[in-house]
Structure formats: structure tokens, C-alpha cells
Amino acid sequence: MKQRIITLRYLLSAFAVSAALSLVCFAQQSSGAAAPPAAKSAAADPIATLVADWTRARDYTKEYLDAMPEDGVGFKPTPDIRSFAEQMLHLAAANFAFVSSATGAANPHQGKNLEKMEEYKTKASLTKIVMESYDFAINAAKNVDLKKDNEPIKFFGRFDTTRGGAWAKAFEHQTHHRGQTTIYLRLKDVKPPQEKLF
């Protein structure tokens, strides 16, 4: 309920700001005054935005890893689903694979099934490999060639998309699997980290 109230306040505030700006623009047009130059938006630098979003995602995921106690790393809410570690390892493996597809950079863990590797089932080793996957994405994002953003690729050899589309799917995927682990933390009586939208 509290989150809904916060969201509603945010939306109302955004609407109020938008309405106020619209009125200012209308008044300037009506008076013939020249409009001031538009503020440079974050979208004006798509590479900086991509790097910032992946950095924020890395930091948010680290908070999830830090929050889970050591005895919860192997925890499964039910026997037939991934453990907390396996969720995070799946996320990491996908970060490597998706970003490799998006950029053509070599996947440093190509051919490995990270989810099944016991060496990553401790909290320290799990955190290390997951953070490595985000650093791989962040470093690749810093060198994105925007001219290739619409270049078509075969995603995992099966799906038609573009290099930019692969980046979008990569971000969506890591968000999805981190989100799934919220219930794992709750079931271990741990309060999940506060959402990081910005």
C-alpha cells in the first residue's frame, strides 16, 4: 500500500510538472517570446545512459547478494525451482551471453553452465562471478558502436533481433531474475533492498 501511495504521488508530481511546463511553453508562444534552449536530457547521450543503467543494475543486484545470508545461498522456495544461487548464476550467464551477442565480444564463460558449477555456490564466489558479469556488460556498453544498433543479428542462433534489441533483452532479463529472488529473501526473513529506479 505504501509503495502504491509513493507511486501515485510520483505520477501526480510528474503530471503537475508536465502541465506547468506546457503552460509556460503556451504562454511563451502566445507572447511571441523565444523559448529557452531545451535542457540536455540523459537520452542525448545514449552510451552514458546505457552505462548508467547497467551500473545501477549492478549496484542493485549487489544489494540483493549482500542481503542474503550465507545459509540462504542454496535456498529453494520449492524443490523444483532454482536456488537463490542458481537464479543469480542464471542471471550472470545470461549477462555474458546477451552482451556477447549484442556486441560480438567474446563471452569469457562460453560453453560453461554456471548454474551447475559448485565453485560458485558460496556467497563470496557467487557475488564475484555475478559482479564480473555486470562489469562485462558495463565495459562493453562504454564501447558500443551506435551505428550498429540496428544491425540485424540472430539471437542465440534462433531469434531475429538487432544489436540494440539484444541490449534491451539483456537488461530485461537481469531485472526479471533479480526480481524473482525477492521472494527468496522474504522467505528467509530478510527485507529486500529498496528499489533503485534512478
The 3 state secondary structure assigned to 115-167 is HHCHHHCCHHHHHHHHHHHHHHHHHHHHCCCHHHCCCEEEECCCEEEEHHHHH
Q: How far is CA 193 from CA 63, 65, 67, 78, 128, in A?
A: 6, 10, 8, 23, 19
Tell me the whole-structure pTM to 2 decimals: 0.77
Predicted pLDDT at 144:
92
What digits encode the pLDDT tens for the residues 98-140? 999 999 999 999 999 999 999 999 999 999 999 999 999 999 9
Predicted pLDDT at 36:
44
